[in-house]
Structure 1
């Protein structure tokens, strides 16, 4: 699947960095129900439909592929895999517009946080896959520490104020420019995650919480996060599970991709090459596609 660049993307945007998350693929049990929900509640549009799945996106950009397997078992809550897919909207007004839409459709939210670098709202799809909808604050408002990490916190977000400020016009779906800004994973242990995302894939360690690390490219607060809050020491993910099958990281520079692949080869992690895509299974059984 090809990536579709977003026109007029700001130079400090998540997608403008040397590497970014491009696309996620979920295995679901009830494809029609889940797809209809993502279209109605998340405002995604169908882009491609096949025999056992479909790809949804915004403004022609593929963001989420949903497929179904007849024998897929519901993943246990402690299995490695998805903590949430994070949909980055262009600005605070669009975050408020989506919140108003969610409120008018009686969507049950799981939480809302001010992370200093961003404002985020949390929920889950009908099969329990986690979702974050967020907007970034301007980088001029971020605080970087001397070691290069960025100041993040989890403070309450005033949803009433966000709702009150939002336009209440008809909802036409997510605004063009909406992207998967980051993906947050459940893994089995943090040192292994640091070794994989920082040392092998070359992402910067941007922040640590108890039981979680946040990795970003180009000083972005995070493109990938990994936590052990539900999944400490869990065994690898099994093939026939619902939830996150795989996701894609796109590198701007082919040399950076080549360096990551060389490190994977050195660790004897099998990588399949097909055209410009390199596919592998990470240490926790989650599929990963690397493209330039």
Structure 2
């Protein structure tokens, strides 16, 4: 565990995400060739992808699914955390070489992140954290922002002699999951009361960030395009479930948030 990023050392952290897909095979191809995951197993219509032998993403295929409305509650993005800044630089070089379109590249003070969208509309973040000792806290609130990424600085951080990008390094994880919700205050109350998370930041009244163990966030919840959204429809693409890993096995449970997102906690 000591070799994993700081995010994974918290009492509760994100372990896997499940997505419902109309074409799981096509989506799996994208997550392998573009994002950098590798296929670990296939069981019927379910395809498990990960880094090294660590499962991170499960695609559950069903051709009868309806396309999710992006204004509904659901997944904003799955955030894949790379072990080092140099790894992010290698992914940027891969994106340049393969002409992969990205939606944004940001410096959040605590992290540096790239954003893209998969073929079925699911958001993706690929990021690396700055050292936790360098994060600035105001009491219980961590300082985050959205500035332009120093792309050349990230690329220049690649160690001399490092290999070209060939997929996610073994110690890559899902660092956080960001959700679309109808009301961030309701989400905050649920994650604090039901799951025991701590609030670490707000972006006005439209977004809240929560974590355990002093991480900058394991869960984000925003209403930027989904304010007032009601419970999710069960027969649509998008988020199937979020799986959290708890150091205390007694914390294992299954729950649904106020919008019907399935949240699993495993020991």
TM-score (normalizing by structure 1): 0.87
What is the alpha-carbon distance in structure 2 between the residues aligned to residue 160 and residue 176 of structure 1?
A: 25
Match of 2:138, SS state, is coil
Contact 2:21 2:63 (C-alpha < 8 Å) held by counterparts:
no
Deviations 1:213-270 (A, max 9, x none): 0001001000000000011011211101101111111111235x2xxxxxxxxxxxxx
Structure 2, unmatched stretches of 5+, are none
What is the alpha-carbon distance in structure 2 between the residues aligned to residue 108 and residue 8 of structure 1?
A: 31
Whether 2:135 is the aligned partner of 1:160: answer: no
Contact 2:85 2:157 (C-alpha < 8 Å) held by counterparts:
no
Whether 2:37 is the aligned partner of 1:44: answer: yes
Contact 1:212 1:226 (C-alpha < 8 Å) held by counterparts:
yes
Q: Which residue is equivalent to 2:262?
A: 287
Report how many residues are paired: 264
| Shift in CA distance, 113/68, structure 1 to aligned 2, threshold 3 Å | same
What is the alpha-carbon distance in structure 1 between the residues aligned to residue 3 and residue 78 of structure 2?
A: 24
What is the alpha-carbon distance in structure 1 between the residues aligned to residue 167 and residue 27 of structure 2?
A: 16
Q: Which residue is equivalent to 1:97?
A: 90
What is the alpha-carbon distance in structure 2 between the residues aligned to residue 163 and residue 105 of structure 1?
A: 16
Q: Which residue is equivalent to 1:73?
A: 66
Q: Which residue is equivalent to 1:252?
A: 247
State the 1:126 CA deviation: 1.3
State the 1:9 CA deviation: 2.9
Using the TM superposition, name which of 164-173 and 33-42 deviates more: 164-173
| Shift in CA distance, 282/137, structure 1 to aligned 2, threshold 3 Å | same
Contact 2:4 2:83 (C-alpha < 8 Å) held by counterparts:
no
State the 1:164 CA deviation: 4.5
Q: Which residue is equivalent to 1:271?
A: none
Using the TM superposition, name which of 164-173 and 209-218 deviates more: 164-173
**Mapping of 1:181-220 within 5 angstroms?**
181-210=175-204, 211-220=206-215
Deviations 1:132-180 (A, max 9, x none): 111111112111112x111111111022332344468432211110000
What is the alpha-carbon distance in structure 2 between the residues aligned to residue 33 and residue 204 of structure 1?
A: 37
What is the alpha-carbon distance in structure 1 between the residues aligned to residue 192 and residue 240 of structure 2?
A: 22
TM-score (normalizing by structure 2): 0.95
Q: Which residue is equivalent to 1:8?
A: 3
Structure 1, unmatched stretches of 5+, are 1-5, 258-276
CA RMSD of aligned residues (A): 1.5
Match of 2:176, SS state, is strand
Q: Which residue is equivalent to 1:268?
A: none
